[in-house]
Amino acid sequence: MDLNQLVKGKFGDKEFLLGNEAAVRGAIEAGVSIAATYPGTPSSEIGNILSVLAKDAGMFFEFSINEKVAMEVAAASSASGLKTFTFMKHVGLNVASDSFLTAVYTGTPGGMVVLSADDPSMFSSQNEQDNRHYTRLANCPVLEPSNPQEVKDMMKFGYEISKHFSIPVILRTTTRVSHMRGIVEFDNVEKESINKIEINKDNNTHWKKGFFKKNPKQFVPVPENSIVMHQNLVLKMEEINELTNNSDLNNIFEFNFENKIDEIRNNNSNNNSNNNSNNNSNSNSNTGNNNSKKYGVIASGSAFNYAYDVVNEDNLPFDILKLGFSYPFPKDLVLDFVEDLDGVFVVEEVDPVMEKEILAAIGEFGIDIPVFGKLDETFPLIHEFNCDIVRESINKIIKQENNEETENNEKLEESLDDESKKSDINEKLENIKNNLPFRPPTLCAGCSHRATYFGVRRAAEELDIANEDLIFSSDIGCYTLGVSPPYETTDYLLSMGSSIGDACGFSAGTNQHIVSFIGDSTFFHGGIPPLINGVHNKHKFVVTVLDNRTTAMTGGQPNPGIPVDGMRDIAPEISIEKIAKATGCEFVESINPMNLNKTVDTYKRALEYDGVSVIIAKYPCTLIKGTKTKRPLIIKQDKCDDCRVCIDTLACPAISVVDDKVEIDDLLCKGCTVCVQMCDEKAIGVKKED
Amino acid sequence: MFNKENSYNVYICGVGGQGIIKTSVIIGEAAMNEGYDVLMSEIHGMSQRGGVVSTELKIGDYKSSIIEKNNADIILSFEPSESIRVLDKSNEDTKIIFNTYPIVPSTLTQFNQTYPDIKEMINSLNENYDFVYPIDGEKLAIESGSLLSLNMVLLGAAIANNTFPLSKESIISSMKNNLHPKFHEMNVKAVEKGYNTVKNS
């Protein structure tokens, strides 16, 4: 697909879109004027795409310094009457939460959607927190899309709600929705946004500008005002609750209970004819199925998809209530749904958030039915689901029931036991499978972090600092991969920017040596206040800013240290060195980490320095497009004594053992020469041209 | 059970940087253009750095995008050992198509591991499955014009088995919609080479 279709696409067009691409189209259809983010997977692609499309879409877009600032950009411009969009990974909302929780009080008159991309199973995150808790904490509505089409549609709907009630709306995706592709049918783009470019010819901006009308009672939460704001918020949420109880986004998928039970009982081995029973709506017939308990399912987000497929494929007679607009919790709707049931399965990722609401609701009305969810251990409390997990969880309950009522349900049980497709592989293959080599993510060939890690290790060795006496506090980025052998340069990690704050703590709490690592983008994001803290409070540690000239881990976004902004225009480049010096720190040195001797020497002096020292290891990421690579290197086999120190200490993907000889793969090698510098036998050189 | 005649599950795997996601999108778009419903799962992020990459495509009346255990109709692996890693998704009818050229992890010596022998892998796959197609992807890609067309060779191989529900024509037209025109000629050649290798085996 051509990404420009996200702007140019017309009503009725269909594209095969990633959830994140669908979010961009949703923002464009809704007529968003201002968008801001800090990149974080699984939401990163939204920013990457907006960075390319913002101008054509009549939108202002920035990569903010961190999520809190992104939230403030979106909230304040929404207070000026514009539709605004901010999006971040789940932990990003922790950073933004201070401003977010009060933006719910002040309101967002222009409309503001906050997309929070949760990461169950932690494909690229440090935790799997469930951000639906924020909707309870902040008291704001949440939408939970299950697929890319819903991401787009709910973006539009989110702006309607947000603007109408002047309240931020959270759109909670999970990795499987953000990174799911599906067919998305387009709606019209709001007329307002099409005309934006012409509106602002005078101002020389390509996006629409708003106007902030002063109103301290609404926008300044001093206690006198915020007491009223909180009261208003409660009233708003009560009104929105009426919507959630009646919303099309909260609908029941009928799998026709009575018909299916009959079907299962009378099944006369006609295999393919049983799949069309979805929507025959005579579910009120009063057949005598005394022995079969009637169950239902309540599900949301990705978890709904698995529940639906399992119920559909296994021919289970369960109706499913899908909650897409799930907070304020649609209690009345849920009570109606469970009223005739003998039990309800709650299928949700990650925490039992809906389950607790459901238990509270049925408890309040004295409804006595079992709720099968996470609290009773029917479903796992951690990680993302899939069909296999949901099937196994549901079967635990059904099979138990069947054992209690052995009379009638043989067929049902048979259909549950159908694992005929399973293939058993022989011992030989099983053996290969069980001994496959690991393939962990690694630092790329030519990555300068490898050189820095080598340098600091060598410096500590030369100063006789034992590994136990050297604490590495690291941060969030590619360089966290330093946790693996052979580097082992990550001993402690909490969050974005924590490496320096943690170093302050280790400095106060121990007499050990401390070296911290933080990327350039992460330094701007959260590293500056703790650096000031370290200098002011007279701590002693070494800060390493691994300045690889990009935000590498999330796909190469610019940051304030790069002379380019989010709309790819030229922008002021902020100097990390000047910031470090401005803190009063007297040991600030920039190095090229690929120069090993200089790197080792600088670390030796820094480790002996009595105070906070800052080393800026500056070398561009090898993944930056257009970076010139040097000629590949080669092992001089006549000089190589096969000591394999290069392999054991550098773990460079380009160096491996082939037929018992150390070899360099010239397709992978970037010619960084770190191996050349560290080889005592001088057995590595530059490959001569063929 | 679900009516399997109306569905088709494609599991694609390999190592970061091999063009796996692009190949999968081409299949997905072709399915959409042929009027099927289709969903796909892809994982970005950490795994790009030389780690395992996989995508899952479910064509048919599904809502979820993760293929269930033993339910892949085809496993297309860009790397031999990766085809073994995902066998939990296979059943006795699964078509297993893989590139025979290994990418040996650089961490092998660190963990004291060995990379399995290719011939042994092929033999034991053949002992367990009826439809195993080892493809010399590197060779066919270079013959097509460049190593960069490796993913199109494997795409061609994947669509050649007679259970694959999409036509070669729609795959090629979707390919053209997703890759730079400069490479169309080479890529068509690569698709054909992969296709013919399986057809003639």
CB contact under 8 A, A433 and B129: no
Q: Looking at chain B, which residue has its C-alpha nearest residue A487?
A: B110
Residues in chain B: 201
Average pLDDT, chain A: 91
User: Residue A118 is inside which H or E element, if any?
Assistant: strand A112-118
Of the candidate ranges A130-139, A155-164, A547-556, B99-108, the one whose mean pLDDT is the lowest: B99-108
Q: Are A132 and A350 in contact (CB under 8 A)?
A: no
Strand, helix or coil for residue A345: strand
A277 touches chain B (CB under 8 A): no
Best residue in B3, B21, B52, B63 to probe A by mutation, most A CBs within 10 Å? B63
In a domain, B29, yes or no: yes
Q: Which of residues 9-48 of A touch B (CB under 8 A)?
A: 14, 16, 18, 41-42, 44-45
**pLDDT-based confidence at A690, cuts 50/70/90?**
low
* Mean pLDDT score, A185-195: 76
Question: For the segment A210-219, what is each residue's pLDDT rounded down to a tens digit?
Answer: 999 999 999 9
Looking at residue A359, its pLDDT comes to: 98
**Which residues of chain B does A2 touch, with a Cβ-Cβ cutoff of 8 Å?**
177
Q: Which of residues 136-175 of B touch A (CB under 8 A)?
A: none
Q: Looking at chain B, which residue has its C-alpha nearest residue A432?
A: B116
B52 touches chain A (CB under 8 A): yes
Looking at residue A658, its pLDDT comes to: 83
Domain carrying residue B66: 8-199
DSSP string, B62-91: -S--SPPTT--SEEEESSHHHHHHTGGG-B
In a domain, B92, yes or no: yes
**Which residues of chain B does A660 touch, with a Cβ-Cβ cutoff of 8 Å?**
none
Looking at residue A278, its pLDDT comes to: 40
**pLDDT-based confidence at A173, cuts 50/70/90?**
very high
User: Residue A61 is inside which H or E element, if any?
Assistant: strand A60-63
Q: What percent of chain A has pLDDT over 90?
A: 83
Please give the structure tokens belonging to residue A106: 């002040």
Provide Rg for chain A, Cα atoms.
Answer: 29
Looking at residue B1, its pLDDT comes to: 31
In a domain, B148, yes or no: yes
Question: For the segment A371-418, what is each residue's pLDDT rounded down to a tens digit?
Answer: 999 999 999 999 999 999 999 999 999 988 777 665 455 555 555 555
Alpha-carbon distance A302 to A147, whole Å? Answer: 8
Parallel, antiparallel or unpaired: strands A180-185 and A295-299? unpaired
Q: Are A299 and A352 in contact (CB under 8 A)?
A: no
Please give the structure tokens belonging to residue A219: 């926008």
Looking at residue A272, its pLDDT comes to: 43
Q: Looking at chain A, which residue has its C-alpha nearest residue B175?
A: A1
Instruction: Fold for A633-686, please state it.
Output: Alpha-Beta Plaits (3.30.70)
The domain spans of chain A are 5-246, 250-263+293-416, 448-618, 633-686
Best residue in B2, B34, B107, B174 to probe A by mutation, most A CBs within 10 Å? B107
Non-local (6+) Cβ contacts of A198 within 8 A are none
In a domain, B127, yes or no: yes
Q: What percent of chain A has pLDDT over 70?
A: 90
Q: Is the pLDDT of residue A88 over 70?
A: yes
* Mean pLDDT score, A660-669: 90
Select the residue of B47, B66, B104 nearest A441 (Cβ to Cβ).
B47
CB contact under 8 A, B128 and A429: yes
Select the residue of B43, B50, B82 nearest A442 (Cβ to Cβ).
B50
A644 touches chain B (CB under 8 A): yes
In a domain, B2, yes or no: no
* Mean pLDDT score, A422-438: 89
A646 carries a ligand binding annotation: yes
Select the residue of A181, A386, A486 nearest B40 (Cβ to Cβ).
A181
CATH 3.40.50.970 is right for the domain spanning A5-246: yes
**pLDDT-based confidence at A277, cuts 50/70/90?**
very low
Of the candidate ranges A91-100, A159-168, B4-13, the one whose mean pLDDT is the lowest: B4-13
- CA-nearest of A137, A69, A50, A45 to A496 is A69
Domain holding B109: CATH number? 3.40.920.10
Question: For the segment A219-267, what is each residue's pLDDT rounded down to a tens digit?
Answer: 999 999 999 999 999 999 999 999 999 999 999 999 876 666 666 666 5
ipTM of the complex: 0.96
**Strand (E) positions, chain B?**
8-15, 38-42, 52-59, 74-77, 95-99, 132-135
Looking at residue A284, its pLDDT comes to: 36
Q: Is the pLDDT of residue A512 over 60?
A: yes
DSSP A469: G
**pLDDT-based confidence at A660, cuts 50/70/90?**
confident
**A134-A138-A144 Cα angle (round to 5):** 45
- CA-nearest of A547, A574, A535, A537 to A475 is A547
Q: Is the pLDDT of residue A270 over 80?
A: no
* Mean pLDDT score, A92-109: 98
**Which residues of chain A does B3 touch, with a Cβ-Cβ cutoff of 8 Å?**
272, 275
Looking at residue A289, its pLDDT comes to: 41
Closest approach of A384 to chain B, Cα-based (Å): 11
Non-local (6+) Cβ contacts of A132 within 8 A are A142, A144, A172, A326, A327, A351, A353
**CATH number of the domain at A250-263+293-416, please?**
3.40.50.920
Instruction: Fold for A448-618, please state it.
Output: Rossmann fold (3.40.50)
Total Cβ atoms within 10 A of residue B147? 14
Q: Is the pLDDT of residue A286 over 50?
A: no
| A203-231 burial: b if 16+ Cβ within 10 Å, else e | eeebbbbbeeeeeeebbebeeebeeebee
Question: For the segment A539-593, what is each residue's pLDDT rounded down to a tens digit?
Answer: 999 999 999 999 999 999 999 999 999 999 999 999 999 999 999 999 999 999 9
Of the candidate ranges A151-160, A222-231, A270-279, A566-575, the one whose mean pLDDT is the lowest: A270-279
Looking at residue A288, its pLDDT comes to: 38
**Which residues of chain B does A665 touch, with a Cβ-Cβ cutoff of 8 Å?**
none
Closest approach of A440 to chain B, Cα-based (Å): 5
10-residue mean pLDDT series, chain B (201 residues): 68 91 97 96 72 94 96 97 96 96 84 92 96 96 95 97 94 96 96 96 85
How many domains are contained in chain B?
1
The reply to whether A250-263+293-416 shares the fold of A5-246 is yes
